[in-house]
Amino acid sequence: MTVIESGVPRVSLAEALADFHPDAEFAIPLGWTQGRTAYGGLTAALAVAAAQRTDGVVLPQLRAAQFAFTAPAASSMTVSARRLREGRSVTSVGVETRSGDSIAAHATLIFSAPRDSAVEHDRIARPDVAGPDDCPGLDGSSSMQPSFAGNFERRVAGGAMPVTGTEVPEIIWWVRHRDASGVDPSVALVALGDSLPPAAMTAFSDVAPISTVLWSIDVCDEIADAAGWFLLRSSSIVSRGGYSYQSMEAWDVQGRLVMTGTQTVAIFA
């Protein structure tokens, strides 16, 4: 265990998962929080881990998931998974996360092995940006940075920074875990996939509260190792009525699109 700049003890993802067991109370490490709740990427990653550890059957690759964040997960949480259906191609798992007397999150996860198909295409272009070694870093010491940010190395590759009043609300950063050794690649990828600030924050002129309500993901390729750099892009495509709707993508260092997603984000600005 090390200490980040703010003095909050940093527990690695591997250490956190070692203390996690489905259906048992899990103390949320302070270094994995954002405001008054657990970091959404951790909550989602624990849902994946719970699904993998339930029923003692090895699941195929995580293919898709939807995470609804319904209440703050403060101090501790209990994550319970149940297999909804196991078909010939697809296994569906439901996961409920409770914190205190509230349901903090609910997830539906889809697992399936790759299949041969005559139809293959990729119509999402990777941003033309410099590699992580040639992009400026973020040290995570700003008071605007949530506690969980210290668990990731981040390099600014494009887009705009939060609270800059931009007219093009998009963030493009290289991100990698500081330590995800031994962690299942799907769990590590989900934990990293929510690490960018919501894209709508770049359009803010002043700091204001913001909260993710729903996160949907599709895993587009097999991930052998999620410990390296990933290029993440989040773009707010519509913001109306106090909610931002954003698209999200993740590419590995070889340029493969590995995950896409969408988020519904409540904004209070």
Contact 49, 42 (CB under 8 A): no
**Which CATH number is correct for 2-114+135-267, 3.40.50.12780, 3.40.50.1440, 2.40.160.210, 3.90.79.10?**
2.40.160.210
Assess whether pLDDT exceeds 90 at residue 38: yes
Beta pairing, strands 137-138 & 210-219: unpaired
Assess whether pLDDT exceeds 60 at residue 15: yes
pLDDT of residue 203: 97
Assess whether pLDDT exceeds 50 at residue 1: no
Task: Give all strands (DSSP E) within the chain, no chain letters.
Answer: 2-3, 9-10, 25-27, 33-34, 37-38, 62-69, 76-86, 90-99, 102-112, 137-138, 152-159, 170-177, 210-219, 230-240, 243-252, 257-267
Residue the block writes with tokens 């998931």: 65
pTM of the model: 0.95
Give the C-alpha separation, 52 to 205, whole Å.
42
pLDDT of residue 145: 84
pLDDT of residue 178: 94
The per-residue pLDDT for range 168-210, each reduced to its tens digit, is 999 999 999 999 999 999 999 999 999 999 999 999 999 999 9
Give the C-alpha separation, 70 to 203, whole Å.
25
pLDDT of residue 5: 46
Task: Give all strands (DSSP E) within 73-209, no chain letters.
Answer: 76-86, 90-99, 102-112, 137-138, 152-159, 170-177
What radius of gyration do the chain's Cα atoms show?
A: 18
Assess whether pLDDT exceeds 50 at residue 262: yes
With bands split at pLDDT 50, 70 and 90, how would you rate the model's confidence at 101?
very high
Lowest mean pLDDT among 17-26, 39-48, 55-64, 169-178: 55-64
Give the C-alpha separation, 10 to 67, whole Å.
25
The per-residue pLDDT for range 136-175, each reduced to its tens digit, is 998 655 556 899 999 999 999 999 999 999 999 999 999 9
pLDDT of residue 139: 67
Give the C-alpha separation, 225 to 222, whole Å.
9
Assess whether pLDDT exceeds 50 at residue 4: no
With bands split at pLDDT 50, 70 and 90, how would you rate the model's confidence at 28?
very high
Handedness of CA 71, 77, 82, 87 (dihedral sign): positive
Q: Which residues contact 232 (CB under 8 A, 6 or more apart)?
A: 171, 172, 173, 174, 175, 192, 193, 195, 196, 248, 249, 250
For the chain, how many helices (H) and strands (E)? 3, 16
Contact 180, 12 (CB under 8 A): yes
- Map out the domains of the chain as residue ranges: 2-114+135-267
Residue 172 Cα distances to 143, 190, 235, 251, angstroms: 21, 17, 9, 11
